[in-house]
Chain A
Amino acid sequence: MLERYLQAVRTDDPGAEEPAATRERLKTNFPPGATRRMTQLGLLVGSALNDLVPTSDDTLVYATGFGESRALEAYLASFPTPSPTLFQTSIHPSGAQQVLIGRQRPIREFFPLAGGPQLTAQALLTALLSPTPRVLLCGGEERATWLTEHGVASDRTFAFAIALTSTATPGFLGKITLASGSDADVSLASPFPLAQFFDLLHARRPFSGPLANARHLTLSWM
């Protein structure tokens, strides 16, 4: 059985907030001028991660289904003279890189996952198989415009970051366990969207159920 203790949880559920409003709301979390080119997802994930103070000894797992969708739209609109800045900003895993590069924070292991029905399950397994004492698992989505209308971007904006440790320390908030499931769990498991995991974290709600990677997830809170 794999398990980790939840040491810290940060969530941001901005609803229909537009990117400019997010930038204004969160700009004090970043160095002066740094937010000008940051995406909405970068601002949200970056703020959540900042609070957890990443170090080079942490493993960072970043989960998103669609990534920097607004930057992707803007990059596509820049043709036939493609924008180099928007190209690099639109490339996964820019959302997490924006804050880490801004803070000049090297990190040894960085696992960016890029969607799929079992995104949450696989991100959790990646985090719980990491050998480092602390793992930071972050993720989120940003709502776009025409990409959202066509189902190629999220219809919701949110972000989270959690710190998971291999040992319990005073004040831990909860525990995540991946127990052995059965082969049948792969077919029994329903998709476990990232937004659903976010909602559990945001509301501090428990969860128990099968995942498609033949694991059984338990999220419990103190």
Chain B
Amino acid sequence: MVSITTSVRLATTGCVTPFGDATATHAALLRGESALRLVPVLGALGGDPAPMALLPGRALDETAPPAWIAALRTLLAPIVADGWGTARRPVFVTSSNFGVGNLHAFRQHGDPANLAFGAPALCVDWLRRDFGWGENITIFSHACVSAHLGLLQASRVLAAGLADAALVFSFDFLSPFVAGGFHALKILNAQFPAPYADRATGAIGLGDGAAYAVLTRDRGDFAITAQNLFNELHHFTSNQPDGSGFAACLAPLVEMTAGRRLWLKGHGTGTLDAGRLESAALAAAFPGAPLVGWKGALGHTLGSCGLVELALATTSLRAGRAPGTVGTTGPTFGEHVATSAVDLSGFDAVLCASNAFGGAHAAFILAHA
């Protein structure tokens, strides 16, 4: 059973990363550039250096109002006046961290202004008022598959005829709260990520990122033709060692892609075990399909990664060229791992996959409409 097989159209999409918008980010990835720099994990408090990709000029420490608000205003400017959050135009906001970094800032400095962003609903309500949205907003938070839940629920609302268009919006910006936590888990260290590289030790990078997608039933050049979820619930931070969780998410999508010439945008954070399992599961489900991952350049943008990478996959389809797995050289987990750009003239669809804490898996198929 697939979570949804009703196709929805992608009317428009966009993202912001440290490279800029989707076009600028796509171009930077094609050039093989990385936005990751070594930054102390506790920001002004210091700590070990770790690779992070921050928006230009933004410090890791949170401010109130957050320094990333300006980037969101620019990102959403093309669609902000479209009556979102009303009865027939719902908004689905997804994030892993929202403004939780402000609680760390409040603990440091005692500025009550930080508290206005300290809980998901408070942070989203601040954004709602800033963007002029109505009250019809759903907030999902499921770590790094958060964006996929917004896409799926928006699709179901459209399929049920309950909306004319849906805005899915996702954002995650780094802070000492987040970086300190990943560093404590010992997967964020001074080593730069090399997704799907067969090397001795793994590591991730983290990145700022936000994106949106406007979904409709019948408007747009691209379609999300199927979406699926699976939650292993085996361990908080690791997967079933046999890779069955990855396979369970992908298997129902295989028949949905019959006849398609598919390429794969994987999750690929740079951790070894998950990278090996994901790579093997994708190769088994979609033999011969090239696999790319972009977190070696952008860092892991956490709850927003599914939507940021959707915007970049759409740009890739439009441009006919997908960036390779930036940051990875040498041996990989398989010949299907593409370390250089992929010419998409022989392909007509992409599978985009994300994974999260708790063994959560999500994937969708994106194709020309």
- Listed from nearest, the 3 A-B pairs whose CB atoms lie closest are A115-B121, A87-B181, A214-B87
Q: Is B235 an interface residue (CB 8 A)?
A: yes
Indicate with 1 or 0, residue by residue over B136-155, a CB within 8 angstroms of chain A CB atoms.
11111111000001000100
* 21 CB < 8 A contacts A-B: A75-B181, A84-B185, A91-B96, A91-B143, A106-B359, A108-B229, A110-B142, A111-B142, A111-B149, A112-B140, A113-B138, A114-B120, A114-B141, A119-B121, A147-B103, A152-B103, A153-B119, A187-B135, A189-B135, A214-B88, A215-B162
Q: Is A166 an interface residue (CB 8 A)?
A: no
Count A/B pairs, Cβ under 8 Å. Answer: 185
Residue of B86, B119, B176, B245 touching A186 (CB-CB under 8 A): B86
Does B115 lie within 8 Å of A150, measured CB to CB? yes
Residues of chain B within 8 A (CB-CB) of A110 are: 142, 229, 231, 360
Given contact pairs A84-B184, A101-B358, A183-B87, a sample of 13 additional A-B residue pairs in the complex whose CB atoms are under 8 Å apart = A88-B236, A91-B143, A97-B357, A100-B231, A106-B233, A112-B149, A114-B98, A115-B139, A147-B103, A151-B115, A186-B136, A214-B88, A214-B136
Q: Which residue of B lies closest to A87 (CB)?
A: B181
Does A117 lie within 8 Å of B135, measured CB to CB? yes
Q: Is A29 an interface residue (CB 8 A)?
A: no
Within the complex, the shortest CB–CB distance from A108 to chain B, in Å, comes to 6
Chain B residues in the interface with A (C-beta under 8 A): 1, 3-4, 42, 45, 47, 86-88, 90, 96, 98, 100, 103-104, 106-107, 112, 115, 118-122, 124-125, 134-143, 149, 153, 156-157, 160, 162, 176-177, 180-186, 229-237, 245, 248, 357-360
Residue of A65, A76, A104 touching B234 (CB-CB under 8 A): A104
Does B185 lie within 8 Å of A93, measured CB to CB? no
> Would A111 and B141 be within 8 Å (CB), given that A87-B185, A88-B237, A117-B121 are in contact?
no
Q: Is A26 an interface residue (CB 8 A)?
A: no
A56 CA / B325 CA spacing, docked (Å): 34
A82 CA / B180 CA spacing, docked (Å): 6
Within the complex, the shortest CB–CB distance from A90 to chain B, in Å, comes to 8
Residue of A92, A111, A115, A215 touching B153 (CB-CB under 8 A): A111
Chain A residues in the interface with B (C-beta under 8 A): 2, 65-66, 72, 75-76, 79-84, 87-88, 91-94, 97, 100-101, 104-119, 122, 125-126, 129-131, 147, 150-153, 181-183, 185-187, 189, 212-215
Residues of chain A within 8 A (CB-CB) of B183 are: 82
Q: Which residue of A lies closest to B183 (CB)?
A: A82
Does B140 lie within 8 Å of A66, measured CB to CB? no
Within the complex, the shortest CB–CB distance from A139 to chain B, in Å, comes to 13
Does B233 lie within 8 Å of A107, measured CB to CB? yes
Interface centre among A72, A80, A112, A153 (most CB of B within 10 A): A112
Within the complex, the shortest CB–CB distance from A59 to chain B, in Å, comes to 9
